[in-house]
């Protein structure tokens, strides 16, 4: 199948088990997920439902116990620059400046110095941190650090960006601003994004699709395509109708597993 028609990401019957204190824990069971190039897909679910485990399998940080995790139809065997991960705690190198953090990936891959410099300047401008390009992480706000973390992934030629609650530690105003900036970046670059969040509102605001996961062990319970026009109004009746439906789904799954 030509690459343009093949999904960028496929999970086929993926299960994951861990050994914990001498007992086997099933974190994920029989997960099926398809993501097309350019999609913005959000994963929601209660704590312990396997969202982060699923993301780590896609990133190549964890291996599957059963099933297949594929990118462009090829098995994911480990981490790779085409799958960039953005964490809640930023993960920046504290001894490097903004420029240094963004340059790290291309430099490590042996790109020519002139190409690395051009890449860095492009992404510094893209995230609007020209005035802070020579600052160190401890000199940046939380929102600035997260912008650098995103730029560092993009500068490393990521085709799909995996985001594990990237705005969870930020205050409400910064979170809203970065949601808008992320959407703008996604629309301008044609990125593919798989985004984990606890927030139903955030998932509806950002996503083309919202995938609902249920706990104990983690399963993909259902999904909803969000067909609201952008930019989305979080107080609009149609937005809140979707929020109500997703909330009911989450609570019903939680209730069944708690019973």
- Cis peptide leading into 217, omega within 30 of 0? yes
**What gap in Å lies between CA 44 and CA 173, rounded to an integer?**
21
Residues pairing with 24 in the sheet? 19
Give the end-to-end CA distance of the chain in Å, rounded to a whole number: 45
Mean pLDDT (10-residue bins), the chain, 259 residues:
74 91 87 96 88 93 95 94 86 93 91 92 89 95 90 88 88 89 88 94 96 88 94 94 92 55
pLDDT confidence of residue 253: 59
Is the entire prediction scored with pTM above 0.85?
Answer: yes
Hey, where are the domains in the chain? 89-158
pLDDT confidence of residue 259: 37
Do 174 and 143 contact (CB within 8 A), yes or no?
A: yes
**Hey, what are 35's tokens?**
């993501």
pLDDT confidence of residue 1: 46
pLDDT confidence of residue 238: 96
> Sign of dihedral through CA atoms 149, 152, 154, 158?
negative
Do 96 and 120 contact (CB within 8 A), yes or no?
A: no
pLDDT confidence of residue 46: 83
**What gap in Å lies between CA 224 and CA 92, rounded to an integer?**
34
- The number of beta carbons lying within 10 Å of the beta carbon of residue 255 is 9
């Amino acid at each position: 199948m030509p690459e343009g028609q093949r999904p960028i990401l496929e999970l086929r019957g993926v299960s994951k088990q861990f050994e914990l204190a001498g007992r086997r824990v099933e974190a994920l069971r029989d997960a099926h997920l398809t993501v097309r190039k350019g999609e913005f897909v959000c994963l929601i679910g209660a704590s312990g439902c396997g969202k982060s485990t699923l993301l780590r399998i896609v990133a190549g940080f964890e291996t599957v116990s059963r099933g297949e995790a594929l990118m462009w139809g090829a098995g994911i065997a480990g981490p790779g620059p085409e799958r960039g991960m953005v964490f809640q705690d930023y993960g920046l190198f504290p001894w490097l400046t903004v420029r240094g953090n963004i340059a790290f990936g291309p430099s490590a891959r042996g790109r020519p110095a002139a190409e690395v410099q051009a890449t860095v300047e492009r992404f510094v401008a893209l995230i609007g941190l020209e005035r802070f390009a020579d600052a160190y992480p401890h000199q940046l706000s939380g929102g600035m650090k997260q912008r650098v973390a995103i730029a560092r992934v993009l500068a490393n030629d990521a085709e799909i960006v995996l985001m594990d609650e990237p705005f969870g530690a930020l205050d409400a105003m910064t979170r809203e601003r970065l949601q808008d900036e992320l959407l703008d970046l996604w629309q301008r670059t044609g990125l593919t994004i798989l985004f984990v969040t606890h927030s139903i509102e955030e998932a509806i605001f950002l996503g083309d699709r919202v995938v609902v996961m249920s706990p104990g062990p983690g399963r993909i319970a259902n999904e909803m395509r969000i067909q609201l026009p952008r930019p989305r109004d979080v107080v609009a009746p149609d937005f809140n109708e979707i929020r109500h439906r997703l909330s009911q789904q989450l609570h019903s799954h939680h209730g069944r597993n708690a019973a």
